[in-house]
Amino acid sequence: MSGARVWPWYLLALVVIVLDHLSKWIASTSLEYGQPVVLLPVLDLTLLHNRGAAFSFLSDAGGWQRWFFAAIALGVSGWIAWWLRTLPAGKAWLAMALALILGGALGNLIDRVLLGYVVDFISVHWGPHYFPAFNIADSAITVGAAMMVIDTLFLEREASSHADQAG
């Protein structure tokens, strides 16, 4: 993908970062830490700080994990930015998936570097069973990853099938 064609995807990543940090700022300034605000019977807003990775993995590891996860996020973000630049034209679905993942990774990376933790505030549950709290960046990463799976399982096969029929 040429430089001119990749900028819309970088812009999408930037939109994810801005929405993520705006929502984290709103949550941080209007919610009390650990005190749920019920929106729906299955959805609360609860301000939490995650010092670990996904699902608070290694959150109590003593501090080294902050820089370890920051380095991983930076490396993955660089790789995704490069991948976006090298995608052939016509791969909009995959480009969108990568842009969502890039924006989410950078959104959480900024928290981790500046604050030492990632701000989470969306809490989904069914009765007493809670899913780990998350944020907009986590949502963008999840949607982007799901889009990549769809691309791999369905869209790539469809493209290969059409190429086989044409050839």
Alpha helices in the chain (DSSP H): 3-30, 64-86, 92-115, 136-150, 156-166
Residue pair 144/9 in contact by the 8 Å Cβ criterion: no
Mapped onto helix, strand or coil, the DSSP state of residue 116 is: coil
**Amino acid code (one letter) for 135:** N
Residue 95 makes CB contacts below 8 A (sequence gap 6+) with 1, 6, 9, 84, 87
Choosing from 44, 120, 151, 164, which is the catalytic residue? 120
Give the chain's count of helices (H) and strands (E): 5, 4
Residue 33 makes CB contacts below 8 A (sequence gap 6+) with 47, 48, 49
The DSSP 8-state label assigned to residue 131 in this structure reads: P
151 is catalytic: no
Choosing from 44, 111, 138, 151, which is the catalytic residue? 138
120 is catalytic: yes
Q: Which residues are catalytic?
A: 120, 138
